[in-house]
Structure 1
Amino acid sequence: MTASADHVKALLRAHAEGDEEAFYSVALQLAAKSARQGHTRLASELRELIDSAHAQPIRRHEPTPVVQPRGELADLVTASYPEVRLSDMTLARTLRHELQRVLHEQRQRERLENHGFAPICRLLLVGLPGTGKSMSAAMLAKELSLPLFTVRLDGLISKFMGQTAAKLRLVFDAAAKSRAVYLFDEFDAIGAERRVEGDVGEARRILNSFLLFLDEARPESLVVAATNHPGILDNALFRRFDAVITYDIPSADEAIEVLRRRLVSMNTKGVNWEELADRVGGLSHAELVRAGEAAAKAAILGGEVPLSTSALTAALDSRRATRHG
């Protein structure tokens, strides 16, 4: 037996906490240790098992269904139970590490609180449209087996002008009672700089109320704010969040991975990915997905499977032209 006591304990701890990434990391360490000790067959079998498990993600218990928002709350939030996992996402290494840290602290919430510390529970996600901010909120909900409650702030303000602060109080009260991931989308709708010319008293009251509610937020839930325009946010906001995570346009390698993931059901053996790497610059994750889907559907309906490099190139160019048109 090559497993040390520390490895066994680490495996059991990761399993108990539902930390899939840590579980696989320890398993890979075991395989490497077996190989170093000359147990090549065992090391090979362990790696095969790990690869197989990665190919078919572990099925966890679904989140316990909660009552759909009712009454006034039903007009403010929409509830969903996302299916996207961290392993499904194409992310830069530093971004993946930041999200893993959030998950780890949330999974160790009680342990941290026993020592007088709170886990990360207030996140500000900033970046261009389509770079994965909303998907990250959905992933956090799935990985933590929590529902996702989405608050569209632009719609909230237009629908409840003059009552927005009171409605926000209802949402934060719900966050204290019902553990979930609360996504405040289009956050710049209330987070814009308070000194902008033409700003009105109502906007200042809404922002001040949000800052107060955010300060009072308890770690039972994750409060996630997402914005495409960080440059216009009030400076007071940034220090109220436990972490500010920035999303960028994917690199060429990341862009190719996005396309490969989306086209996994297609025959892409004839695609020259190196050639495509020169055509993906400047496109967001969402734009890459749409381009891949367009090329795939055209190939299927036109009877031109397997997918060709030229078809993907045309779809990418078309997506870029549409954006700049």
Structure 2
Amino acid sequence: MLAALITGKETIEMVEFDDPTPAPDGVVVDIAFCGICGTDIHAYQSGRPYNPAICGHEWSGTVSAIGSNVRDVTEGDRVVVSAAPACGNCDACRAGLADRCHTAFVVALGRDPLAPKHGGFAPRLAVGANRVVKTDPGLTDEQAAQVEPATVAFHAVRWSGLRLGDTAVIQGAGPIGLGTMQWVRAAGAGRVIVIEPNDQRRQLALDLGAHDVVEPGEAADRLIKERTHGLGADIVYECVGRAWAIQTAIDLARRGGSMCLIGLADSDASISPGSWLIKELKMTGALAYFREEFEMSMGMIADGRVQVEPLHTSTASLAGLDEAIADLASGTSQQAKVLVNPNW
């Protein structure tokens, strides 16, 4: 069986693996779709070592085999990848901090004993049964493959302390930014402004409920001042994932406002500490999500409160993965979320 791995700078290799078999506490999943994540793109651009277990970590599929100890799912169940639940035994769990479970964090990083040898850019993979959640029957496989990134945005908004009526700015209208924008609307923001250089993504943001869209730079500065009577945004969500965008997010926030860092930059950032101090800003970082948030998010996607279908702009075959990632990494792509069908 062939699986695609990012093995170096702008390098994707098709690697031969034996057909997977389930561990006693594991399952084998036949992959339906796997989304290309921003971390996949960053790995492709940078060439830094990339854990094979998370190369393609936004997948949906069907259980085709289960281990002897597995009771919660069975063969034929449609499932989607999620974070593992808290273990209840680590130092964090014993201290009452189950949301900071060390074991679940290691599993999310793909460094646990049941971590797969490759990700979802493959027809099948073996994974711990604690990583799969039954797919809401109201979702298609394409929608299900987008629940994972949607939940990343859900966690960020839930964690950020957004208040009813806030003016919220979202930097970047990629899949995470567009998801964040929708959750911000659902959480009761009074005005939502999206900053994005790509005109097609700006239009998509409008279609999905943004009040204003604008190109970055002086136009964004001017619009936000107009909409906030010169104060600045109550909260800014940084979804670009570039080092330069962190200080930009701070500059757009009002005194006493907030910034939520979601995008993961692959280099150190230069900041102006004086502006952070003078503004007395609150800053939150949001990485991944908690297990319970996954089913909350999936349910709200299934009932239509948040839409993922419009984000899915194309589907690539496994053979076309290299071309698809190269396009997304170019900085000029017209795509939003690209799903890979490894069975094509």
Task: Tell me, yes or no, whether TM beats 0.5.
Answer: no
TM-score by length of 2: 0.27
In our comparison, the structure showing a higher alpha carbon Rg is 1
TM-score by length of 1: 0.28
The structure that is helix-richer by fraction is 1
The structure that is strand-richer by fraction is 2
